[in-house]
Amino acid sequence: MSFSTRCGFPILLFLIQILNHKAHAQAIPEWQDPQVVSINTEKPRADFFPYASEKAALAMDKKGPFVQSLNGTWKFKWAQHPAKAQLNFYDPKTPDAGWDNIPVPSNWQVVGAREGRKYDRPIFSNIKHPFKATPPRITADTNAVGMYRTTFTVADVKDKQLFLHFGGVQSACYVWLNGVAIGYHEDGMTPFEFDVTEDVKAGVNNLAVEVINWSDGSYLEDQDYWRLSGIFRDVNLLMLPKVVLTDYSVRTILDANHENATLKLSAYVKNYGQQPIHAHQVLFTLYDVSKNVVATPVSQMVGTLEMGKEGAIRAEMPVPGPAKWSAETPNLYTLTVQLMNSDGKVLEATSQRVGFRDVKIKSGQLLVNGKAVTIKGVNRHEFDPETGRVISRESMIKDITLMKQHNINAVRTSHYPNASEWYDLCDQYGLYVMDEANIESHELWGKNIILADNPQWRSAFLARGNAMVERDKNHPSVIIWSLGNESGMGQNFVDMGDFIKLADPTRPIHYEGRKDYKPTTLSSFDIVSVMYPSTQDMVELVKKDKTRPLIVCEYAHGMGNSIGNLKEYWDLIEKYPTMQGGFIWDWVDQGLKLKRPDGTEYWDYFNYIDGANAGDGLVNPDRTPQPELNEVKKVYQYVKFEMPDTLKAGAKTVTLQNTYDFQSLNAFELVWSVIENGKAVGKGGSITNLNALARQKQQISIPYELPAASKPNAEYFLNISLRLKEATIWAPKGHEVAWHQVPVVKPAAPRPNLSLYSERPLRIAQVTAARVQIVGTDFTVVFDKNEGRMISFKNKKDEMLESGPYANFWRVPTDNDEGGAAKSYASQWRNCGLDTLERVSSEMKTQKPTAQIYKVTLNQTLKQAKGEMDVQSVYMVYASGDIHVQNTFTPRGEWPSLAKVGMQLKMPAAFTKTQWYGNGPHETYADRKTSGKIGVYAGTVAEQHFPYITPQENGNKTAVRWATVTNAEGIGLLVLSDTAFNFNVHDYTDKDLLAAKRRAAVLNRGTSTVVNIDLAQMGLGGDDSWSPRVHEAYLLPARTYTYSYRMRPIENTSNIEQIAAVRLPYVDQKETNETVAITETAAATDEALSEEDEEEEEAVAAPVRKTTVKKAPVRKKPVRKRKPARRRRRR
């Protein structure tokens, strides 16, 4: 229950609390009674700042005589439990000189962890409470208490009404002023106020607050986040006149054509004076962005108000043809509200930004201003790596600008109302908000303890919903109310929804929970909602209910290196009119920045309660965008480019499809260029006369030209970019909002064969019985039978190998790889020893087709507990320095799906530079490469690492045609292939990366350069992170794989394009993008390092699914053909 006056206090119990200040002194203390949610607080109201004049209200600088900030340094004392709190700590006579200092706002756990104080530590948990769940009681031996004290000075209290305003205190608190008990409150995420007029004195005042970490309210606050407490939002003293504006509301009503509008206004005035008031009035004035009055101001008289009475006034203001608000066009007006006395003197003024928009559900669709909108959303926890739940304005703006720049148009305030300023910024910048009440009972729901069905908790449910709605009701950005999260379903939610509908019938209501909780059962209220569905689940849901929109409140789980399959979801969403998008989980990794003993910093993200870590975001804790955010931007982009998958030379027509809901394309220009082999050629251009209206198309012609001359092995792409003509508040001029890349066909000149006539013959030396050395003019290569690999490759005198290429089927597990416990991909890999395969046999064969070509065939068998893998690597060494490599992997026995199929090698640490021609510039994977753009990219090896807060697989490149790894002088290794491959390079080993997963571990870097040359890598997944859900198309089942590539030493003057344009003799390289096959055609002198009979072999390529963005190779099934063996005599 909630009391609005101090006389409602349970006096006896509270006096006992004051005198003894021990929790056990009460049979049921307030913080363990679910029916007591607040004592002595004022009614919830809209968030607004009181000013002394309309001019100040229009300036909106939040400064003035009516508000005194109490933020700053407070005194603080910590106790382990309410029973151990200091007696009478709130008494001004109790000394506090020996107490700690603490900033307000802050979370004491974060301050303690960052400064080494002996408070309770920050705890991250997903579902399970950090204490034994015995609702509504908290029986834990440790339930920390923070005792706060501060002083403030008031010069004069005469004729003033004073209120103490707390923006947020987690989770429950008692308040004293000058030693007098003021009240109690729980619900850590909404504001509360006390009328302290009778308690504030002129001069110095002493304020004390006791904050209890866990309360009965904690059972409604079981969100997956850091469990932090304290006074973490602003504290203010309001010093108002005796007649005050207590609340107001603004609703925008649009006509049937969504052209003209009516402002429906209401305001509440209360008389705190000793005498009745007469003839006071409230004046409403609407201004445009230039501060011009846009409609006739309206005023309404307040009837006579006796002492202590409150009155309501209502008014309407016609507004012809206002500019409408949407996330794309966030047009705002400013409404001033002035309370005047009978003489016309302004007693109080305030202001509110107004966006003219309406929200309805019609024909199964969510409409804003009469148009179906698409929710391209993200969930967002409030989190700062250095201050925890204390969020600065700068941090909020950083989040919003990054969201807008990456085509995100909506945010769900998961799972609680955010700081008030967040909504102001969403109004200004343009984001749709699903505002969610501070209710989640995840652990209890999992145990079938449904607080939503318990009448004891009804008042708490209603109070939390009411506090949210009353505070945020005037924000145009809020288009949906959400009742909470993951708490089951029951009557309390039904009552809460009914209550909100009565309070605000202008917005739809969302809640995903349901009693029969299955992926395809329908949720209640206005929106069909679901979490982490498959695409088939989504189809079933829209077929079951065609009267409501489907908006997925959580999907695409972003834990670690994730967000695979996003395009598959959006291909489906764009197909069904009542599928209207969803909210990715989630925005930011919740990593706390803490210090190691040596003073260096690290991210603390570990969950020791129930496993799931804090790294679910699209951005790092410091807001560094993760590579997956590029995929979100690309899939979410609002402009589509309709053209063939491949353009014929001369085809120049492109149709732009504008999928914005409200915005035309006239704010953008189209910039185009042609690239040849990854680099721009010729002159590009721009088209500025784009004019397609929202949901319309525009056909344009791009006057590109291809080079007249034909080049061998040349490929061309047309790059198209849509960019801002002018800067906006969220992006600079030239910011790219959408792009497209399409291959252009141009007949290529025949590729000449590599000429070896001028090359000196290779010199062959059998170093040992198991080792052969091949020496060319500027290179030396050594193969070793026992190692089963090439062990040395010298570029002139520079050794390029620290460890030669070896078969690799493993990756350092991603967070998603670990999902599913014993059934996870990572568990399957570990169980079969995928990272510790044992070589049980090895052989080497050699041939010399010509004096300038030498062939080495390495066969080995790798073993794990339940199976074996035969690995054959055929090396063709050319006098030019080229080495053609064909690898064939043939599994036998039981194998899981493989993480990778490829080869890994190590180079000395001096090889620190890399370049590649393929997808970039960021990492891409089989199921997350829509955002990859074919081009030539370069950087340092160190730059290829992305620091996910949990160290894991990262940095992969797909659709690679060639790649280099060189030292500072440009000397190094070139790898290229006619078949696009995966490439990755790092300045650490897989073992180093795996070891860095330990808490506060430092990744050991710079000791060697590790290169991966892979046929393919398994997808990342992302449908969720707790079960193995990589889509079948992106798995690598254990079967025979064959692929080829070419290696060559290079220096800084090497022309890679010319090298790639030449075909190697004795290797059948088809001009199509198919797997290279080796055919032995020349009679040769055989040299064998084995007594076994030698065989002539013909290897035929094996099928794998496509591994590139454009025209990925199709591989034919491998067939091993043997010719009759001929016994040869060793020479």
Residue with tokens 């088209």: 687
Q: Is there a contact between 644 and 651 (Cβ–Cβ < 8 Å)? A: yes
Q: How many residues does the chain have?
A: 1131
Nearest 5°: phi and psi at 907?
-120, 160
Q: Is the dihedral of CA 832, 837, 838, 844 positive or negative?
A: positive
**C-alpha–C-alpha distance, residues 81 and 117, integer Å:** 17
Residue with tokens 């309070």: 503
Burial of 189 (0-12, 13-18, 19+ CB in 10 A): buried
**C-alpha–C-alpha distance, residues 825 and 814, integer Å:** 10
**C-alpha–C-alpha distance, residues 454 and 488, integer Å:** 12
Strand order in the sheet with 789-795: 763-768, 771-775, 779-784, 789-795, 798-799
Q: Is there a contact between 409 and 375 (Cβ–Cβ < 8 Å)? A: yes
Q: Is the dihedral of CA 1114, 1118, 1123, 1125 positive or negative?
A: positive
Q: Give the closest residue to 820 by CA, choosing from 1022, 1027, 1024.
A: 1027
Q: Give the closest residue to 411 by CA, choosing from 437, 359, 376.
A: 376
Q: Is 537 helix (H, G, I), strand (E, B) or coil?
A: helix
Q: Strand 333-340 to strand 280-287: parallel, antiparallel, or no bridges (unpaired)? A: antiparallel
**Tokens representing residue 302 in the block:** 């307040």
Burial of 716 (0-12, 13-18, 19+ CB in 10 A): buried
Q: Is there a contact between 460 and 37 (Cβ–Cβ < 8 Å)? A: yes
Q: Is there a contact between 425 and 462 (Cβ–Cβ < 8 Å)? A: no
**C-alpha–C-alpha distance, residues 302 and 264, integer Å:** 17
Q: Strand 653-658 to strand 639-642: parallel, antiparallel, or no bridges (unpaired)? A: antiparallel
Residues 61, 62, 65, 66, Cα dihedral to 10°: 150
DSSP string, 589-638: ---EEEE-TTS-EEEE---TTTS--S---SB-TT-PBPTHHHHHHHHH-S
Q: Is there a contact between 902 and 960 (Cβ–Cβ < 8 Å)? A: no
**C-alpha–C-alpha distance, residues 411 and 403, integer Å:** 9
SS3 content of the chain, % helix, strand, coil (to 5): 15, 40, 45
DSSP string, 780-808: EEEEETTTTEEEEEEETTEE--SEEEEEE
Apex 183 CA angle, 179 and 186, nearest 5: 135
Catalytic positions: 486, 554
Paired strand residues for 209: 148, 175
Residues 6+ away with beta carbon under 8 Å from 105 = 71, 167, 168, 230, 231, 232, 233, 234, 235, 390
Q: Is there a contact between 671 and 728 (Cβ–Cβ < 8 Å)? A: no
| Kind and range of the H or E run holding 749 | none
C-alpha 936: how far from its chain's center? 27
**C-alpha–C-alpha distance, residues 221 and 208, integer Å:** 25
C-alpha 599: how far from its chain's center? 29
